[in-house]
Chain A
Amino acid sequence: MGLLPLLLRGAPKRFLRASGSYRSLYESNSRRRRHGTDAAAADQAVNSRADHRPDDQMLDFPGAKAAFTSRMEFISPNAAEAVPCFRILDDLGRALDGSDIPEVDSSLAVKMYHTMVRLQTFDSIFYEAQRQGRISFYLTNIGEEALNVASAAALTKDDVVFPQYREHGVLMWRGFTLDEFANQCFSNEAGHGKGRQMPIHYGSEKLNYFTISSPIATQLPHAVGAAYGLKMDRKNACAVTYFGDGGSSEGDFHAACNFAAVLEAPVLFVCRNNGYAISTPACEQYKGDGIVVRGRGYGMTSIRVDGNDALAVFKAVSAARKLAVEQSKPVLIEAMTYRVGHHSTSDDSTKYRSGEEIAHWRSVRDPVLRFRRWLESNAWWSVEDEKELRGAARKEVISAMNQAEKKNKPPLSELFTDVYDTLPRNLLEQEATLRDTVSKNPPSLAPH
């Protein structure tokens, strides 16, 4: 009870986070002292309210304005039905009856397909490269190619992207070259990030794609701040941030959604619900109906979409972007998909899911094949095109890999730069000491 004596002595309560009960006690005491004659008026007001029938009264608490009910009814944890999932193409790539196909002409569709295939090819070759010990680590996008590419295609180059780490297709769509991907993976002197981070931690200032970092969901509040800045600068652009089903459990998800809604930031929250967070299945990640239902909790527009349907993703993200930019509001998009690959090269997912399950999603439910079928049905793609593209992509990726492998690693000076904008004295001293150590030791320790 240590706080109460201080309050009653009139100590400045702004120094303390007074709990609600202490504050109301303090305020009701002071009200009675100061407003003696008004007490009668207050009583009269209360009595006149009581004359009305209970059902006519609206509660006008600062926290919510809601109608009364005299029936105690708990809201059940789940709605009668799960939030439906928007799709345009069926699993075989055929437009469903009543679908409203978005405006995707042949050149856009073919470009999207090219990117998906290049991404698939890059993933499979670089995964193997890690297995052969040529790079230290790799992480694939298998199963999420359509989600990556179609969402990216619905954005403009001025929209700023805050990725998690399984969105290389977004970067590829924007124009990051195979050489740039390979350089970063081989940590050479030309690679983004100057060799400081593990492979796949890409980024590009030119392409408005913020650097990937391993901690989960930390990018979500960044995206909100960036979006707020875009709004204040009156740019025709939004921020877009990606995260997984696992990421939605982080505190930063809650923080970001709430801030975005309250501060009216034009940001798209794209949840890649791919069913697994490393080995943790979605049923061990949340108890509600996925992530889409949380949108309403924050006062945010939301939608659930089939993340393996490129057209549905394209349409939903286009519409969401328009809403965000025109109305300065956030939108939550839950894209349902499946992580076909292992979490990364440090994972063997057959330890926690069946080979049959993986094979099913890799083949029958492959989003790239599904989109290809739609292209073929429009006569925009053929078996020859496929063979040619696959062959060319493979050649290009292998060439990029070989080039990147040959390049030098970054110079030692890059260990110390960019900690601050300029090197402070402690780092200058440490660099001098390190160079001294290196020069006195066998050549194998010495980089150039």
Chain B
Amino acid sequence: MALSRFTSSSTARSSTLLKPLTTAFLLRRPISSDTTPLTIETSVPFTAHQCEAPSRSVETSSKELLTFFRDMALMRRMEIAADSLYKAKLVRGFCHLYDGQEAVAVGMEAAITKKGFHYNCLSGKGGSMHFYKKGSGFYGGHGIVGAQIPLGCGLAFAQKYSKDETVTFALYGDGAANQGQLFEALNISALWDLPAILVCENNHYGMGTAEWRAAKSPAYYKRGDYVPGLKVDGMDALAVKQACKFAKEHALKNGPIILEMDTYRYHGHSMSDPGSTYRTRDEISGVRQERDPIERIRKLVLSHDLATEKELKDIEKEVRKEVDEAIAQAKVRSISSEKERASVVGLKFSSESPMPEAHELFTNVYVKGFGTEAYGPDRKEVRGVLP
């Protein structure tokens, strides 16, 4: 649908020349400010267990869709960048990539905070598997999968104890769904009516083991038995948003609920896993073509004429630049000599010490430590005084 384009930055409400003749004809409005509600249907209906499925029609807006697009593109770009950084040995340890599954994160954030979403955890010493941000209510990623489910239920318990009227989302994968802790925590949450939402991100592979080889019952949303569940197309950000909103309301009234997000990851489980020894490349490219979350939003945006192809490409370029800049900054910070740092960028990073100092090894072991000294391994060199 070709529509004339208004170059002014004011919204098209200021123009009376073109009016929509049918709902299909939409005036193109500037990307960032249009919040007129749009109703879009999710790709597939929800499947419910022991509860009423929410409706397939999702209320959204141009602004929201474009925010989704941008956020998902940013995530995708970040994951790819992490991939190359890991291969360049700038990121060590484990690196678990999330590309393909962006819709789950983005949709969930939209349902709960309506804000963008940041990982910002520079003060922690946990590495890639242990990010936390107390201020945003992000209680962390955990290395031993399944252990975070009782933690999440504990958070929900504290919310109920303090009568906060808030909910907790505890996320785990299809691999971790076979952990006993999950069922123990579900039992307790259902007994005590805790506002806990357990989200199973089912990407069909637990590291290298396919779902059908690990789980007798692949219907993870039904595993709660007496706890209601909902199966959601995890590649559709709008479906995820709808489901999370529904779950939030449900959990506050009726106690725990399980959401199963049917999603897919393109990369292997971690960087040492090529991802193709236990599945075919055709499968991966098939999903990428048919169900990719970013492509879906792109098609929606284009078909509803909310932005042009070029504008979307511009967003992607902008996102790429943002990620590249962030990486460059991080690289600069990781250079330990001040001189080198200053010469690379010419900016004042010299006052920061990006690589942790040796004494930081011992900070935060206890909340209130014993003021003792810490020695190096030969017990001759004093490393520092513990707080």
Q: Are the chains A and B members of one assembly?
A: no
Residues of B near any A CB (own CB < 8 A): none
